A and B are shown apart, each in its own frame.
Chain A
Amino acid sequence: MAQAGKGKLNYRCPSCFLRELDIDMFFDPDKGEYYCIRCEYTGTEEEVRKANELPRIRYKDMHKRFDFDSMDD
């Protein structure tokens, strides 16, 4: 089994990102999956991309534009 390396993009662990940890993942070419060296997360590129939508759930106003001039404060 050869050593792991970085993929074409340098994905972070989606599970660690949810707890505000930026941890680079490595790619295991034998299994065709990314894995986290800190926690137990593993996933294909497609799974990682899907999981990367999870942290966006907390950004409820991510798509909204605010008009500060109309605010009463």
Chain B
Amino acid sequence: MDKLILNIIHRPEMVPEYAEKVTGHGKAEDLGRKALLTESLDIFKTQQECAHKNGLKTTIQMTYASLFNDEAVSLAKEHHEKYGDEIALTLLGLPCEQFRQKYKTKDFCIWMFSMEDKMAIVDDVFGKFYERFGFYPESTGSYYMDAELINYIKGKYPMVKCAVATCWEEGPKAYHTCNNSWYTFMDGGPWAPWIPSKVNTHAPAANEEEDSGIVAIPHLSRDLIACYDGNGSNFGTHPQNVLRGMIYDSKTWEYPYLYNLIDQYRHLAKYNNGYAYNMMFVGPGWMNKMGRWEAPYELLLKSYEDGCAYYGKLKKEGKLVDMTMAEFADHYRSVKSYTEPECALWRDILYGSDKQLFWYCDPYMRACVNMDQGGAIVDLRPYAAKLEWPVGIGTPHIQDASYPFLIQEKYRAGYFTHYAGEGTIRSAKICWNGEEIDLCLCRTKAHFSQEGKTRRLTLDPVEIVFAGGLTVKVQTVVSFPEGESVIQIERKVLESSDPTAQVTINEYMVGCYGTTEYTEDMSSLTLSLRTGEDVQTLPYEYRCRDLTAPGADEAACVVPPIRTRVSMTAEGADKAGYVKEGYAFSPMFTIGYTGTLREKEGFTTWLKLERAN
């Protein structure tokens, strides 16, 4: 029977994020206030009690500040002995008097420090941990762990095998939600555990050579529709985040959404060879005695107790296994291969739309297929590039740890709805007698299957009704052959109101690159069409040009700033490849194919991602 694997993590954070600002309003900042320290440890004790009384073990991630507190150290040792909790070390929770005096900064996000400071802090924190416990930790983490940081830790402390290493889709949306003040830009990563590559944490390792040596877990398990569209911090396996999103009955204090979210993660075992995972990690600031925003303390506490109780119930029913982070890392490596993808056919459990998204992640790409848009690809991250992207002070990306996209429908339009320009998307248009209908306008549902090493989405057929009188029924099948860095899309006309009628299909990808809503300089891109040995190129100059080649073997674009080459090939009647340059008001590129179809005929394309030299 498939079981959900659970990691519960607690951190004794002596100066909890939020708590100093919330409880201390109207007072000058004082990280050593006795009331703050006492409350912080009480919250940790409460969280531990919630887990233990439901028969769940935890991973205790000691913070730097807690290593100076005898009671916190003693509690960790006691709970390790009594409950089997793992004593680990987090790089969150750095702020405290000792840290401020030593490093003379208010920075607290480890990935944003200079490499020199990262190494000094890691050695300091790991050293202090060893001093208090007599061993080094096997697990660590932060909201984000950049590759250089992981490589340093693994090189110097090889016993580390697991780390919290990203927070799914916490990027510009989280920044905006905090009135443009929360600098955690880390979009574009995996939503479920993975083995990070040595070069870029977000991109999973494809083989042993690329293996960073740790198993990474995400900070929380997040709603793969709600977090993609909205503020990530409202929709995850963090009971107080559900309160933050106001997803509870204000009269009864009930929140079935939290249990639906956990259950949907359990359901993901169906797409991942029986494996499913959840992570809950609530910082103590979220259980502040003063309450959090409009939620009083009693509700904060109730939600955490209920969350633990639900996990405990699942465990008693034999549907869940609780593990420490280090135990999980060993388990993950025993059940997963490097190239096995993570798949999630995710349904809306909140807004009542019945919408489905399919998320796919492997060492070569992260892709999102939107069934409400006829199976269009609405988000695409080219992990095949294994992009070098150092972050922190002294690098080109001080705060921005996001893995760049080629397609992102929220930040760069998507299916286009106003009169000028285009948005990023990978879709198709069916054309007949001067009419053109985009499959993005055909809402449908998908069914997942696995055949050998290929994961396949078979979409329910959709009807295309032309005003001129023709109706065709079109089916889309999207396939992800494992380890090939390719997305295959087959379209087939299953039925036609006029079997002799010929429709034209236009398979296209509109792309760009970036990590935010704002456009980047496209001047270094090159588009190309190859037919046999003949290659036509089109350097991007914002001049709205295009090239077409009947019988083309490949349409491609090289995107040097993200070291990516994306190409399309096709099979089908009358195929013709094309590329389109954008212009200043529409700074996109398009690669695509046109072809013809009659009833019972198909047209197939392959989108390939590679690292550009």
Q: Which A residues fall within an 8 A CB radius of B?
A: 5-6, 9-12, 17, 20-24, 38, 48-49, 52-53, 55-56, 58-66, 68-69, 71-73
Q: Work out how many contacts link A and B, with CB atoms closer than 8 A.
A: 98
Q: Which residues of B contact A58 (CB under 8 A)?
A: 351
Q: Is B257 an interface residue (CB 8 A)?
A: yes
Given known pairs A20-B177, A20-B231, A62-B249, the reply for A68 and B264 (CB within 8 Å) is yes
The 5 A-B residue pairs with the shortest CB-CB distance in the complex, in nearest-first order:
A60-B352, A68-B267, A61-B352, A65-B256, A66-B260
Task: Establish whether residues A73 and B351, one from each chain, have CB atoms under 8 Å apart when the complex forms.
Answer: no
Q: In the complex, are the beta carbons of B350 and A9 less than 8 A apart? A: no
**Min CB distance, B139 to chain A, in Å?**
30
Please state if A38 and B231 are interface contacts (CB–CB under 8 Å). no
CB atoms of A56 and B351 under 8 A apart: no
Partner of B293, one of A9, A64, A68: A9
Complex CA gap A60/B353 in Å reads: 8
Question: Which residues on the A side are within 8 Å of B84 (C-beta)?
Answer: none
Q: In this assembly, does B306 line the interface, its C-beta being within 8 Å of a C-beta of chain A?
A: no
Our pick among A11, A22, A52, A53 for the contact of B177 (Cβ within 8 Å) is A22
**Chain B nearest Cβ from A54, distance in angstroms:** 9
Contacts A22-B178, A62-B257, A68-B267; is A73 near B447 (CB within 8 Å)? yes
Residue among A20, A56, A60 facing the most chain B CB atoms (10 A cut-off): A20
* B246 contact set on A, CB distance < 8 A: 17, 52, 55-56
Contact call B266/A63, Cβ cutoff below 8 A: no
Residue of chain A at shortest CB distance from B234: A20
Q: In whole angstroms, what is the CA distance A57 to B349 when docked?
A: 14
Tell me whether A62 and B247 are in contact in the complex, defined as CB-CB below 8 angstroms, given that A6-B25, A20-B230, A68-B264 are known contacts. yes
Asked whether B176 lies within 8 Å of A59 as measured between CB atoms, the reply is no
A64-B351 Cα distance, complex, nearest whole Å: 11
Whether B529 is near chain A, meaning CB under 8 Å from some CB there, is no
Contact of A5 with B179 in the complex, beta carbons under 8 Å: no
Q: Which residues of A contact B250 (CB under 8 A)?
A: 49, 52-53, 56
B291 contacts A10, C-beta separation under 8 Å: yes
Enumerate chain B residues within 8 angstroms of A6, measured Cβ to Cβ: 25-26
Q: Is B41 an interface residue (CB 8 A)?
A: no
Expressed in whole angstroms, the Cα–Cα distance for A5 and B264 within the complex equals: 42
B361 partner residues in chain A, CB cutoff 8 A: none
Q: Assuming the A-B contacts A65-B256, A66-B260, are A10 and B176 also in contact, with contact meaning beta carbons closer than 8 angstroms in the complex?
A: no
Q: Is B448 at the interface (CB under 8 A from chain A)?
A: yes
Evaluate whether A61 and B349 lie within 8 angstroms (CB atoms) in the complex, with A22-B244, A53-B250, A68-B267 already known.
yes
Q: Which residue of A lies closest to B266 (CB)?
A: A68
Which residues does chain B contribute within 8 Å of A66, judged by CB atoms?
Answer: 260, 263-264, 349
Contact A72 B447 (CB under 8 A): yes
Contact B351–A60 (Cβ < 8 Å): yes
Q: Is the CB of B351 within 8 A of A61?
A: yes
A15: min CB distance to chain B, Å: 13
> Are A10 and B259 neighbours in the complex by a CB distance under 8 Å?
no
Residues of chain B contacted by A17 (CB below 8 angstroms): 246
Please list 27 pairs of residues, one from A and one from B, whose beta carbons are closer than 8 Å in the complex, sorted by A's number: A5-B26, A9-B296, A10-B291, A11-B293, A12-B293, A17-B246, A20-B176, A20-B230, A22-B177, A22-B244, A22-B293, A23-B179, A52-B246, A56-B250, A60-B352, A61-B349, A61-B351, A62-B247, A63-B249, A64-B256, A65-B256, A65-B259, A68-B264, A69-B267, A72-B447, A73-B345, A73-B446
